[in-house]
A and B are shown apart, each in its own frame.
Chain A
Amino acid sequence: MKQIAEWALGMAVARGASHAEARIVNERVRALGTRNGRVAVASEEESLGLGVRVLCEGGWGFAATQELTRAGVERAAALAVEIARASARVQREPVRLVDEPAAVAEWSSACEVDPFAVPMEENFELLRRIDRTLTAVEGVTLAETSMIFRRYEQWFYSTEGAAIHQTRTTTGAGFSAHAFEGDSIQTRSYPNSFGGQYQTKGYELVGELRLLENAERVGRECVALLKAPQCPEGRRDVVLDSSQLGLQIHESIGHPIELDRVLGYEANFAGTSFLTLDKLHTLRYGSDLVNVVADARPEHGPGLGTFAYDDEGVAAQCVPIITGGRFEGYLTSRDTAAMIGRERSGGHMRAEGWARVPIVRMSNVSILPGEKPLSFEELIAGTEDGIYMETNRSWSIDDKRYNFQFGCEAGWEIKGGKLGRMLRNPSYSGITTEFWNSMDAICDRRYWTLWGTPNCGKGQPEQGMGTGHGAAPARFRQVKVGGAYGS
């Protein structure tokens, strides 16, 4: 791989690039799934290629190819320089990068059981058993199960001398039950919606999730939702489970803190951000209990945003985002950090694969668990009149990340400190900073889970990315609920 990179970097410099990076990626994905007992997903995919990013005359250029011969690589590098020169024609000021030590490193994510080595018969047998358990529940009209394994191996070289070889193995698994009756389609998923839980782990994750053990309960809850009363409309105290809080973090903290959005780079697609530069270190983002970090380091946990180096060679860091409720940091890259006078990037440049250029992305953007001991049972016991909501069903937020609305799969009344009857179609909405300032309790570390969001979309051409979000169940006071079905 080093030879391929040398061809690319050599040609880029020869054509006039002042800086060049070569990323070679070898990716393998296996996806399996069933629907009502039939195999619906059975695929393997592998992809090997090179992306060359260059700076020339102060403009960016990027070209990607899968033709890894000397001719193919040099053609891509020369094209990247030609593109950079075209960029420089329509540019306000030359790109500047903050310094980063050129790392020479080898790193692999922890993986106890290689998911690609597990017999596929075993994979399918587990999925079939879950599927059968779900469809055996009277009233379940559709059962879906899935597993996905991914190995992402990357070699990064730069004209600054970086030589980084990283391998990340990720695993995802989960299931859903659907029930249709009359004028209602209801869904319950486990352990999360949209495919379940995803982490940077091996097959050991599948065992930890206890999928089969939860299948019958989830099927029954799905059917029960058909008869459950509608979530009321009004203002209530709301308790969110950790997976829903993870997505709340993703949408109303993770995206607005992306510095490229703040600087207008995403204005035409993903949008901008209400977190203008004047709000840094001054905005009261949330209550005193809200402490959020963007932490890519392995010690944060096996999140989908865990790595040793980002895709422009910056070492993984823990960046404080919200401390004691105050807004303290952005997600940055080497060029955006320079624009706001920072000395170093926070290490948030990530690319979907070899064919795509790195852009500012979340790593693991997590809320820290409560420091005081608080169990889920104590959290509910301390809530007089509220609604507990679990598992995301819909999510929407405006292009500056102020106004959001989330729907969940299931809700339960909380009356006098106890969980009561189930509610269907629960939803809540609000304004980002008002919502986070209403948080008055969060469970301790025992209840904290590092969730994976595998499908975050951003950029043009659009790139999908996996991000991590650690969260524990938390309570928010007097939140607007039921508006999604309101008149």
Chain B
Amino acid sequence: MNVNVTMDQQRCAEIFERVRRAAEATDVEVAVKGGRSALTRFANNGITQNVSEEGCTVSVRVQIGGRTARATTNCFDEESLRRVVGQAEALARVQEEDKELLPMLTAAEQGSAPVLDRRCAETAAMGAGERAEHVEGMVAIARRDGLNAAGVYASGESFEALFNSHGVVRWHTESLAEASITMQAGDSSGWQKQNYTSAARLDARALAEIAAEKALRSARPVELPPGKYTVILEPSAVVDLIGFLAADFSGLALLEQRSCLNGRLGTKLFGENISIVDDVRDAGQTGPGFDGEGVGRQGLTLVENGVVRGVALARGTAARMHGSETEEKVAGTGATGNASLPAAGARSGNASLPAAGARSGNAALPAAGGRTGAWPTGHGLSLPNEGGEAATNIVFRVADGDRKTVEEMIAATEYGLLVTRLWYIREVDAYEKILTGMTRDGTFLVEGGRVGKGIRNFRFNQSVVLMLKQVLDLGAPVRACGEEAFDMVAPAMRVGGFQFTEVTRF
């Protein structure tokens, strides 16, 4: 069978039926995912790598009693489908029964998912010539300023279909265009990166202009001593730090006692000015409106005025949490998946959980009538998995009147640093959430309310929990990208007492 990587929902449904016919197991879940992507990469003001790839996979999960396993292939002929089904079944049968494994999601239980129109036909169809034109535009700015540019311009589209033998049907498609650029001068550099579902929103030349300005302004960097500084973190730097915290907002991480939120649910862990939600419907977000099992993704309040309010919960996690001490704490925070976000349509996932009588299988879900316990939020990962669930549609909430521009933050800073981006961030301490990493590509001294000289790059060792207690100002949340974490809708931040421990040689 020839595979068109832009296949539609109907063709995916046909594949599901073929898999189902090939299966001995009665509980079958099929995910068909694919797409095409292309990326034009440049360095030293010329294209150095230029690639295009297309692909499509069918991933089969079977459930036999309290056992589940997954097998995936990119071959769609009958023999391959039979083989992949057989692999999943064989892998499931050899397992010991897991009494906590829930039955597969049913159509009645899946809830509605937000309809998210995230595919732009023009972006999906972009060719090598058009990408080269964007690169030419960025490189022209480098040449004008006597700089050396490196970066990428990428475009593509993807689709995702999910079906199971209990009537669950999900479909999502989206496109993406991305540009990033590093402008290098002799001893300095500047960087920018952005992506959107539509290339029409992506202004590669504007990114190049900002990167060039940063490279030129940070020339002849001076060395400052390590220590605690007030820092203005641009949104990309914020994204890469918060990304390491997001994984802790997981119910399974709480149950397994590997979350820094253990013992801290419901407490005022961060500053009053910190409010964070997970909202796939936000205009600055990407991704499907359902999770790895097909549960409709709901809006979720994670932090409200500094208080930890909620965590993401997969179906299985919510069930395991039922009756536990952790559930009481989660319930006490309002972490039931429908915490405080509006839009009833996106929250109906809860309403359609099966009534107690309909619950079959090995594990019990909390009672549907009185939603006082932990409920699935639509953030579960595909089963089986190690992580449980993940809040990956992070959106910071900052009231209009509280928003400061980066320029206003600079003006309010007597002595501090302006940080464009951070690099090679790793977790030093799992509970205090101490992160280490480097500044990179545009770090400046701020003196007397003005941006001054570029400085040599610092290493930081900073607790991100502590950092979020010390936020002095927040900007308007924008869709922002880093290189260490997933994209978010995040603001610039002015933070007091950010700890730098070492300085490097450039």
Q: Are A and B a genuine interacting pair, yes or no?
A: yes
- Residue positions of A touching B, CB distance < 8 A: 33, 35-36, 38-49, 51, 59-67, 69, 71-72, 79-80, 82-93, 119-121, 124, 128, 141-142, 144, 178, 180, 183-185, 187, 263-269, 271, 274, 355-357, 359, 393-400, 402-403, 405, 407, 425, 427, 429, 431, 460-461, 483-486
A399 touches B438 (CB 8 A): yes
Cα(A128)–Cα(B430), bound, Å = 26
CB-CB under 8 A for A39 and B384, given A82-B128, A91-B46: yes
Cα(A184)–Cα(B139), bound, Å = 49
Query: Closest chain B residue to A80 by CB distance?
Result: B52
Query: Closest chain B residue to A483 by CB distance?
Result: B501
The minimal Cβ–Cβ distance linking B437 to chain A, given in whole angstroms, is 6
B184 within 8 A of A: yes
B47 within 8 A of A: yes
B429 within 8 A of A: yes
Cα(A185)–Cα(B434), bound, Å = 12
A396 touches B438 (CB 8 A): yes
CB-CB under 8 A for A92 and B46, given A42-B70, A431-B505: yes
Indicate which residue in A33, A393, A484 contacts B461 across the interface (CB closer than 8 Å).
Answer: A484
Cα(A356)–Cα(B37), bound, Å = 11
B257 within 8 A of A: yes
Which are the 6 A-B pairs with shortest beta-carbon distances?
A: A403-B504, A86-B128, A267-B150, A180-B257, A42-B69, A185-B430
Query: How many B residues, CB 8 Å from partner?
Result: 95
CB neighbors of A among B82-139 (8 A): 84, 87-88, 90-92, 94-96, 98, 100, 127-129, 131-132, 135-136, 139
Indicate which residue in A65, A71, A396, A483 contacts B426 across the interface (CB closer than 8 Å).
Answer: A396
Q: Per-residue CB proximity of B317-339 to A under 8 Å, as 1/0? A: 00000000000000000000000
Cα(A485)–Cα(B53), bound, Å = 44
The minimal Cβ–Cβ distance linking A153 to chain B, given in whole angstroms, is 14
Query: Closest chain B residue to A42 by CB distance?
Result: B69
Kindly list chain B residues whose C-beta atoms are within 8 Å of the C-beta of A47. Answer: 57, 73-74
B349 within 8 A of A: no
Kindly list chain A residues whose C-beta atoms are within 8 Å of the C-beta of B95. Answer: 39, 42, 124
CB-CB under 8 A for A403 and B70, given A83-B52, A356-B53, A429-B459: no
Query: Closest chain A residue to B42 by CB distance?
Result: A90
Indicate which residue in B135, B425, B503 contacts A90 across the interface (CB closer than 8 Å).
Answer: B135
A120 touches B256 (CB 8 A): no
Cα(A185)–Cα(B248), bound, Å = 13
Kindly list chain A residues whose C-beta atoms are within 8 Å of the C-beta of B100. Answer: 38
Q: What is the count of residue pairs linking A and B with beta-carbon distances less than 8 angstroms?
A: 286
B45 within 8 A of A: yes
Majority secondary structure, A binding face: mixed
Cα(A166)–Cα(B384), bound, Å = 32
Query: Closest chain A residue to B98 by CB distance?
Result: A38
Query: Closest chain A residue to B51 by CB distance?
Result: A62
Kindly list chain A residues whose C-beta atoms are within 8 Å of the C-beta of B432. Answer: 183
Majority secondary structure, B binding face: strand
Cα(A483)–Cα(B69), bound, Å = 44
CB-CB under 8 A for A144 and B386, given A43-B71, A180-B257, A395-B426: yes
The minimal Cβ–Cβ distance linking B497 to chain A, given in whole angstroms, is 11
Query: Closest chain B residue to A33 by CB distance?
Result: B386
Indicate which residue in B40, B67, B256 contacts A35 across the interface (CB closer than 8 Å).
Answer: B256
Query: Closest chain A residue to B56 by CB distance?
Result: A66
A62 touches B44 (CB 8 A): no
Q: Per-residue CB proximity of B43-64 to A under 8 Å, as 1/0? A: 1111111111111110000000
B428 touches A66 (CB 8 A): no
- Residue positions of B touching A, CB distance < 8 A: 2-3, 37-57, 67-75, 84, 87-88, 90-92, 94-96, 98, 100, 127-129, 131-132, 135-136, 139, 148, 150-152, 154, 180-182, 184, 189, 191, 256-258, 260, 262, 384-386, 423-432, 434, 436-438, 440, 457, 459, 461, 483, 501-506
CB-CB under 8 A for A86 and B386, given A403-B502, A486-B461: no
Kindly list chain B residues whose C-beta atoms are within 8 Å of the C-beta of A264. Answer: 43-44, 148, 150, 184
The minimal Cβ–Cβ distance linking A206 to chain B, given in whole angstroms, is 16
Pick 10 A–B contacts, CB within 8 A, sort by A.
A64-B51, A83-B51, A90-B136, A180-B431, A185-B429, A185-B431, A357-B51, A396-B424, A403-B504, A425-B428
Query: Closest chain B residue to A69 by CB distance?
Result: B2
CB-CB under 8 A for A485 and B256, given A66-B74, A460-B41: no
Cα(A431)–Cα(B129), bound, Å = 43
Kindly list chain B residues whose C-beta atoms are within 8 Å of the C-beta of A64. Answer: 51-55
Kindly list chain B residues whose C-beta atoms are within 8 Å of the C-beta of A46. Answer: 72-75, 84
B50 touches A87 (CB 8 A): yes
The minimal Cβ–Cβ distance linking A338 to chain B, given in whole angstroms, is 14
Cα(A185)–Cα(B430), bound, Å = 6
B132 touches A90 (CB 8 A): yes
Cα(A79)–Cα(B129), bound, Å = 11
Cα(A340)–Cα(B132), bound, Å = 27
B98 touches A141 (CB 8 A): no
Cα(A40)–Cα(B52), bound, Å = 34
Cα(A357)–Cα(B128), bound, Å = 16
Cα(A394)–Cα(B84), bound, Å = 37
Kindly list chain A residues whose C-beta atoms are within 8 Å of the C-beta of B42. Answer: 90
Query: Closest chain B residue to A251 by CB distance?
Result: B424
A396 touches B437 (CB 8 A): yes
Indicate which residue in B68, B152, B505, B506 contacts A460 across the interface (CB closer than 8 Å).
Answer: B152
Kindly list chain A residues whose C-beta atoms are within 8 Å of the C-beta of B502. Answer: 403, 405, 429, 483
CB-CB under 8 A for A90 and B46, given A38-B100, A47-B74, A399-B440: yes
Kindly list chain A residues whose C-beta atoms are within 8 Å of the C-beta of B256. Answer: 35-36, 141-142, 178
Indicate which residue in B72, B132, B459 contacts A86 across the interface (CB closer than 8 Å).
Answer: B132
Indicate which residue in A40, A142, A267 contacts B384 across the interface (CB closer than 8 Å).
Answer: A40
Kindly list chain B residues whose C-beta atoms are within 8 Å of the C-beta of A40. Answer: 384-386
Indicate which residue in A66, A178, A268, A398 contacts B150 across the interface (CB closer than 8 Å).
Answer: A268
CB-CB under 8 A for A461 and B429, given A43-B70, A396-B459: no
Query: Closest chain B residue to A68 by CB distance?
Result: B75
Kindly list chain A residues whose C-beta atoms are within 8 Å of the C-beta of B428. Answer: 393-394, 407, 425, 427, 484-485
A45 touches B426 (CB 8 A): no
The minimal Cβ–Cβ distance linking A150 to chain B, given in whole angstroms, is 14
CB-CB under 8 A for A49 and B74, given A62-B50, A396-B438, A403-B505: yes
Cα(A35)–Cα(B388), bound, Å = 11
The minimal Cβ–Cβ distance linking B419 to chain A, given in whole angstroms, is 14
Query: Closest chain A residue to B506 by CB distance?
Result: A400
A265 touches B43 (CB 8 A): yes
Indicate which residue in A38, A121, A396 contacts B436 across the interface (CB closer than 8 Å).
Answer: A396
Kindly list chain A residues whose C-beta atoms are within 8 Å of the C-beta of B98. Answer: 38-39
The minimal Cβ–Cβ distance linking A186 to chain B, given in whole angstroms, is 8
CB-CB under 8 A for A398 and B457, given A60-B48, A183-B431: yes
The minimal Cβ–Cβ distance linking B178 to chain A, given in whole angstroms, is 10
Kindly list chain A residues whose C-beta atoms are within 8 Å of the C-beta of B440. Answer: 271, 398-399
Cα(A100)–Cα(B41), bound, Å = 26
A398 touches B139 (CB 8 A): no
A486 touches B129 (CB 8 A): no
